[in-house]
Amino acid sequence: MSRINRYLADTLLILVIVVVFTSLLLLLVGASPHEAFGHLISGSFGSWSKFSRVLNVWIPLTLCSIGLLYAFRAGLWNIGVEGQVVLGAIGTVGVLRLGIDSGYPMVTLFLAMLAAAALGGGWALVAGWLKIRGGVHEIFAGLGLNFVAMGIVLWLIFGPWKRPGIASMSGTEVFPRELWFPTLEGWRVSPYAIGIAILLILATSWILNHSRFGLNLKAVGHNPRAVVLFGLSPQRYLLIAIIISGALAGLAGGLQVSGIYHRLIPAISSGYGYLGLLVVMLANFRLLPIPFIALFFAALNVGSIQLPMMMQLDSSLSGVIQGACVLSALLVFGIRHLRSRGPGN
């Protein structure tokens, strides 16, 4: 019971710090904190249509975050999620383009999702391989690959996949409706996509906490030298972890295409890869809080969209709040760390 209490106390403390900080910031630019918070809440939870938009952010953000958890378990900073999302989107668009006239839209969509996971995982494998064989820290390998992915998307949009007539930053041609992820009347979000996300959360929970693979992975992350004594190959586990991580990110990219944009755009990843890293940090690298934090972050993202119009504020306020959450969480963890070391120690 005391652990839960402590957890709630920490959460409350973090929220108080963030609200105070954000209010001060808003007062600094001469805006009313009350009004801004009001817009953030009504813009995200105000109606079903708005909330379904929040879910549309929640799905890919959650997929990226739980994917990152696999990499973190193995001790890897998979900063390349961003590029893996992009590659997933490219894979989906590629398959959907081939399947436009096939007459089997559901099969095409299924294959497109597989392609998304495969390309995302493959892209992550490159970063993992560079780490293991090239000795390049995965942060820089991942970042480099993010830039390459960006280059590929731009090349596709302005080159081979350009819209007939004009190529522009608005992306490739929109797919016909039967290749959109199926949804219900009046829904902006596909229930299938929500189902996939929930299934993957449950699967991850089992794999990381109850399977032999999860246990071994944890061991590899904690002490790669010792696991060799147990006949495990740390390198293999690192590669598998980063491939799973990339596959989940790729799937997020695939859903961005088939569920939301229905075409390839330059900003197809929406920065969810980087944001996912913040989610996982705020969750203190644990699975259980991830879906809730992702929902909170998604609500901030969606709620802030109307800030420029209603209050002439930049929508990047959501990012500031998200960053402040992580920093104050690290502060709270840090103070706990200091106190656990005891005074005079």
Partner 1 sequence: MNELPLAVLLASVLATATPLIIATLGETITEKAGVINLSLDGSLLLSAMVGFVVGYETGSFLLAFMAAAATGASVALLVGIYGIYLGQLQVAVGFALTLMCKDLAYFLGNPYSRLQGPQMISWKIPGLSEIPFFGPVLFQQPLTVYAGLLLIPAIWWYFYRTARGLELRAVGENPQACYTRGIDPRRKQILYILIGGALVGLAGAAFSLGIKPGWGRPQGIEGIGWIALAIVIFGGWHPVRVALGAFLFALLQVGGISLQNIWTAIPAQVFQVAPFPLMILALVLVNMLEHKSIQRWLEHRPGLAQLLDKLKGDPPRALGKTFHPD
- Output b/e per residue, 266-293; b: 16+ Cβ within 10 A: bebbbebbbbbbbbbbbbeeebebbbeb
* Separation between Cα atoms, residue 312 and residue 113, nearest integer Å: 39
Q: Which is nearer to partner 1, 45 or 77 (CB)?
A: 77
Least distance CB 110 / partner 1 (angstroms): 32
Class of residue 155 by CB neighbours under 10 A (exposed 0-12, middle 13-18, buried 19+): exposed
Would you count residue 21 as binding partner 1 (CB under 8 A)? no
- Here the contacts of 158-167 (C-beta below 8 Å, separation 24 or greater) are 161/93, 161/97, 161/264
Least distance CB 319 / partner 1 (angstroms): 3
Figure out which of the listed residues 7, 104, 110, 155 binds partner 1, where binding follows CB under 8 A. 155
Would you count residue 224 as binding partner 1 (CB under 8 A)? no
Q: Which is nearer to partner 1, 137 or 286 (CB)?
A: 137
Would you count residue 78 as binding partner 1 (CB under 8 A)? no
Q: Which tokens is 293 given?
A: 């934090």
Q: Are 59 and 255 in contact (CB under 8 A)?
A: yes
Q: Which residues contact 172 (CB under 8 A, 6 or more apart)?
A: 93, 156, 157, 161, 162, 163, 263, 264, 265
Would you count residue 89 as binding partner 1 (CB under 8 A)? no
Would you count residue 309 as binding partner 1 (CB under 8 A)? no
Least distance CB 79 / partner 1 (angstroms): 8
Would you count residue 160 as binding partner 1 (CB under 8 A)? no
- Chain residues in the site for partner 1 (CB under 8 A): 25, 28-29, 77, 79, 130, 133-137, 139-141, 143-145, 147-148, 150-151, 154-155, 158-159, 167, 266, 274-275, 277-278, 281, 312-314, 316-320, 322-324, 326-327, 330-331, 333-335, 337-338, 345
